Structure formats: structure tokens, C-alpha cells
Structure 1
């Protein structure tokens, strides 16, 4: 019986439609019979479609992704995913790297690449923090304007008028947590 190829595609935002379309095209060209896709950041560590894909795959299947960063953001994440696949008897294929974990060389390369990717990400975050610190020191960085707190007077007035938290949240288009934070700060 031939290996069943299961694809997984992810972009960080819904604005990246072209990126998702390209991944879907590449996964289909690779022969994937089923593809799980989502458009959300992996930083939140909640990737429901990836979880569904990991539950769906069966022994002998191959999980296919176009690039390593579409699957994992850290070596720990990568190790956890590959371990879950290994327990189920599922291999991993990364198209852009021509990497297949069914070979010893593929397993070694996956671990090396995961380490390098995590190192690059940490360097990028460090540069970003340094840039923000410099901009703050130069008085050029103020941070994001607090949107909900600017509506504190309206929240308090609506609550005093007997409106529910849900009503306030819907009317002012702010989060439930923001409503409670404003009410708590006013108490």
C-alpha cells in the first residue's frame, strides 16, 4: 500500500492569501489527498487545524508541509510534533528542503534546521527589542495607544445606566476583559 500524503498549510494572518494559495498549490502538486489549512499565528500555540491533522494521520502516512516555519516555531515545538508523528508511525516531508524523515539523514537535517531556525528567530526578536529600546530612548516610540481605556467614561456611563457587560462590549467594540478592567479600576 502506498503512503498517504496529508498536507498542512498555514499563514500568520488572513491577509496572506497569496501565501496560503501557493502552499495549497504546492501540497496538491506533491500529491496530498487531504490538506488541513489555517490562517493564524503559531505564536499563540493554538493551531486547531494542525491538531486535527496530527489526530487524522495514521501509521504509514506522511505529513507534508511546504516549509519548516509553517509547522513549528521552535526546536521544542518541532521535537514535540515529530515525536507525536513518530509514535503514530507517520513520517514528515518538507518540500522546500527536499527533506524526508523516513531517512536517517532527513532526521538529522530536520533537527539541525530546527535549531538554526530557532536561533534566527531569537536573533530577530533581540534586534527588535533593541530597536524598540533605542526608539524609546530617542522619544520616537510611544507604543500602541490604549484603545479601550480611552472609552472608560463611556463604559462607566453605560454601566451606571444599567447596561450589561455584553451590551457595553458590543456597543463600544472593546473586549470583555477591557470592560471589566475599566470597571475594576473605577471601583
Structure 2
């Protein structure tokens, strides 16, 4: 028996393309389980139902590997659970069918390549951030209070006649930003009361 699984990442996306492909592959519409959740979201009720529905000799069918899992570790774990249930896995877009030795080999090779690609992207990103840091570039958002604007704010900060609200307004920043850059403002003692 064929058990289908389809997933889209957002509520705005439609499952129809995947469910049509699954039906065309021979999965009965009543045996197609679905989720509308990101791949990183581990609580996928539709996938859990599909896994519970698997019996020895059944095949779980999905359109693409990324509909099932986001990492090689997760994908292999899922494949092991399917195998432990005595079932197979078929991925339509990649032509993978783990009920055959060649299909199992292709499945593991594609999963390893996908994991390798993600690792390379992560490594290149880290190298780029290191190189930028060595050139003196900071990551993140540009500072709202820097250079001459910061110098002017410091001068106003020292003037007890100006309120913090006035300084923030003149600098064009929020109070939180002002305090983050200048720290607490110590009150200047005024003339003693008689």
C-alpha cells in the first residue's frame, strides 16, 4: 500500500501540486497526509500520522526529500524508522525508491550531498564574517548614534539644563538608544535649599 505525505512551509502555500503528484503516482487520496509547517518545525502531526499508518510492505511516498526533513541526520533517522516498520520510501522528484538496493544507495548519496552543501554554505558564511571583522567591519545594523551625532549628544548630555527627552529628540534617537550609548546620567547637584 502507498502512503503519501505532502508539506508546505506556510499557510499561504497550497498543497495541491504535491497531492496531485502523489495521486498520479498511485496514492489514494484518503491515504495522503499533510502538514503546513516549516521543515525546521519538528511537531508535524501529518507526518506522525503517516508514520503510524505504515505497515510492513507499505511505501511512504513524498514529492521531494526536503518535504520530509531539513537535515541529513533527520532524513536518515526517518528512513531508519520507515525501514524498522518494514516499509519503503519513494521520492518522486529524485527517483528514489528504498525498496531497491540502488534506491537506498541513491537516497544516502543525495542526503550526504545536501548535508555537504549546507556545511559549505555555513563555512563560507563564517569565513566571510571573519574577513569582514579583520577589515574592521561590524556585523548587524548600523549604529543610530555615531560620529558627530554621538559627539553632539555627549555635549548635550553634560548640560544639566537639557532633559534626556530633549537630547533624544535633538539626536533623533529613542531614549533606549541614548542610554545604550551614553550610559546613566548622573544628576548634577543644584543649589542647596534654604
TM-score normalised by length of structure 1: 0.65
Aligned ranges for residues 27-176 of structure 1 at < 5 Å? 27-33=22-28, 34-125=31-122, 137=138, 140=141
SS in 2 for 1:97: coil
Per the alignment, residue 184 of structure 2 pairs with none
Q: What is the CA distance between 1:97 and its match in structure 2? A: 1.2
Change (3 A) 1:130 1:14: farther
Mark the CA change 1:139 to 1:105 in structure 2 (over 3 Å): closer, same or farther: closer
Distance, in Å, in 2 between the alignment partners of 1:37 and 1:125 is: 30
Q: Which runs of 5+ in 2 are unaligned?
A: 144-194
Larger Rg: 2
* CA RMSD, Structure 1 to Structure 2 (Å): 2.4
1:11 CA displacement: 1.2
Compare the two structures and name the one with the higher helix fraction: 1
CA distances 1:35-75 after superposition (whole Å, capped 9, x unpaired): 00111012122212111111111111110000011112112
Rounded to whole Å, the distance in 1 between the matches of 2:21 and 2:12 is: 19
* CA 1:120–1:55: 2 relative to 1, 3 Å: same
Per the TM alignment, residue 132 of structure 1 is displaced from its structure 2 partner at its CA by 8.0
Residue equivalent to 1:24: 19
Q: Distance in 1 between matches of 2:105 and 2:92?
A: 16
Conservation of the 8 A alpha-carbon contact between 2:97 and 2:103: yes
After superposition, give the CA deviation of every residue in 1:83-121 in whole Å (9 maximum; x if it has no partner): 111111101000001111111111011011111112223
CA distance in 1, matches of 2:36, 2:102: 31
- Indicate if the aligned counterparts of 1:73 and 1:118 stay in contact, CA closer than 8 A: no
SS in 2 for 1:137: coil
